Amino acid sequence: MREMLWFDSAKVLIGGEWVAPASGDTLPVEDPSTGSEIGAIARGTSADMDAAVAAAEAALAGDWGRMTAAERGRVLSRIGRMVLERADDLARIEATDVGKPLKQARADALALARYMEFYGGAADKVMGETIPYLDGYTVYTLREPHGVTGHIVPWNYPMQIIGRSVGAALAMGNACVLKPAEEASLSALAFAAIATEAGLPPGALNVVPGLGEEAGAALSGHPGVRHLSFTGSVAVGSLVQVAAARNIVPVTLELGGKSPQVVFADADLDAALPFLVNAGIQNAGQTCSAASRILVERSRYDQVVDHMAARYQALKAGPAMADLDVGPLISARQKAVVESYLALAGDLRVAARGEVIADAPAGGHYVAPALLADVGASHRLAQEEIFGPAQVVIPFDDEDEAVAIANGTDYGLVAGIWTENGARQMRMVKRIRAGQVFINNYGAGGGVELPFGGVGKSGHGREKGFEALYGFSVLKTVAARHG
């Protein structure tokens, strides 16, 4: 592993310096494809968070805070170019650390570059308004950075989530403290090293890996942090929101999902099928916006199940570097969770299983993809996030029932609608509770440009696109009386 890296993974980055964590401790890095320990990351604690927040404050008072929006944009664009040049290296690191098939890891690296390009270009295009007011007044608004922003990131898509959250925060002139997930911190450190090389001023981005309950809790409760962006589980999101409430700081929560794709009888099935399956098994199903529920109008139900089953039977799971359809799950713990869900299938129809290739390393965390049919809409498998390579297929009889099932979970992140009927498309868009709706496609979180976020237990606030820039800024209203 060490030979792949251009930074010391056992250090934290604070104020532009790579230093040992205050604890002097490290945490192991595991390769999920083999289960072997391949390196170490720093075990950051509250002392490191104090130093990181102080460094971010110093950056805001110094070179970083003095940069114009155009200069910030230029730095971000340069980071984007360098990420693009290093995309293969970043992909190899991520594939090894997270277990993603190499081409999926590469897609994440390209998305990270694209976030930097997008937010680099957007940095100097966020403008205020002038507001007509009383005679003798000029009123206008300014969009200013919050100050120090905290970013807590999960292990499933580190590069994409860092791109959308840190990219937008930096574009608006905030200084960031990033706490990557303990299971997957290497790409965050690699990115920070690239950003430093690209000329990001010291302290604008600080990275402190560590355990959630130590480093994560220290960051979310830190009184110097003015905005928190959290992506992860509902349980931890709730803790972060409580911590944010104590300090009265805004928080963006990007949590889980149980997203449906709704297939009506008139849908173009040939077009739909690849989207139906890919959106379930991408990243071994460890995707917040995975389409883990497929709802199908009864008259085409058996046909859709048969077609999906045929695809599932051809799916192969194996090591990340073998670049198959599905890699290992992130950890033995995650594998046990997914297997306990699959055990609930009991009498349900297991329509098809993919296979784990014969020579997959015995210590890797592999689960053969599973397609589960005839699952009742209220069954736990149809309600809870499995976060593994498994999808349930549920029949419905009419539009009202489709809406009731689609909206019938605690979540509301993404939905897909497959129908050729334009009026039905528009009705469904209005009736479905979700932060993003795709018509006759499914974007698994969508593009860099598309605002993203949830309703209900999927969270609140929006990241990605231009909308994120508003979230990472504070609006100031200025009323000047001049007579």
Considering only residues 309 through 348, tell me which ones interact with ligand NAD, judged by CB under 6 A.
none
State which residue, 239 or 393, has the beta carbon closest to ligand NAD.
Answer: 239
Q: Which residue type occupies 63?
A: D
Nearest to 230 by CA among 117, 116, 284, 149: 149
Q: Identify the residue among 97, 254, 297, 325 touching ligand NAD (CB under 6 A).
A: 254
Q: Identify the residue among 256, 369, 412, 446 touching ligand NAD (CB under 6 A).
A: 256
Q: Is 176 annotated as catalytic?
A: no
H or E stretch covering 106: helix 102-122
How far apart (Å, rounded) are the C-alpha atoms in residues 280 and 114? 24
Cα 388 to its chain centre, rounded Å, is 16
Q: Is 181 in the site for ligand NAD (CB under 6 A)?
A: yes
State which residue, 18 or 155, has the beta carbon closest to ligand NAD.
Answer: 155
Q: Is 154 in the site for ligand NAD (CB under 6 A)?
A: yes
Catalytic residue among 176, 182, 288, 385: 288
Shortest reach from residue 215's CB to ligand NAD, in Å? 7
Local structure of 16: helix, strand or coil = coil
Shortest reach from residue 158's CB to ligand NAD, in Å? 9
- Residue 55 half-sphere exposure toward CB, CA atoms < 13 A: 26
Q: How many residues does the chain have?
A: 483
Q: Which residue is nearest to ligand NAD (CB)?
A: 212
How far apart (Å, rounded) are the C-alpha atoms in residues 145 and 152? 18
- How are beta strands 251-254 and 459-460 bridged, if at all? antiparallel
User: CA geometry: angle at 407 spanning 402 and 428, to 5°?
Assistant: 55
Q: Identify the residue among 32, 101, 167, 212 touching ligand NAD (CB under 6 A).
A: 212
Q: Is 288 annotated as catalytic?
A: yes
Burial of 70 (0-12, 13-18, 19+ CB in 10 A): exposed
Over the window 375 to 414, marking each residue x when it contacts ligand NAD by CB under 6 A and - when it does not, the resulting string is ----------x-x-------------------------x-
- The residue whose two tokens read 């990605």 is 464
Over the window 232 to 251, marking each residue x when it contacts ligand NAD by CB under 6 A and - when it does not, the resulting string is xx--x--xx-----------
Q: Is 182 in the site for ligand NAD (CB under 6 A)?
A: yes
Local structure of 326: helix, strand or coil = strand
Contact segment (CB under 6 A) with ligand NAD among 25-33, 81-89, 177-185, 345-353 equals 177-185
Give the count of residues interacting with ligand NAD (CB under 6 A). 29
Count CB atoms within 10 A of the CB of residue 483: 5
Residues annotated as catalytic (active site), given as ranges: 254, 288
Residues that bind ligand NAD (CB under 6 A): 152-157, 179, 181-182, 212-213, 216-217, 220, 231-233, 236, 239-240, 254-257, 288, 385, 387, 413, 459
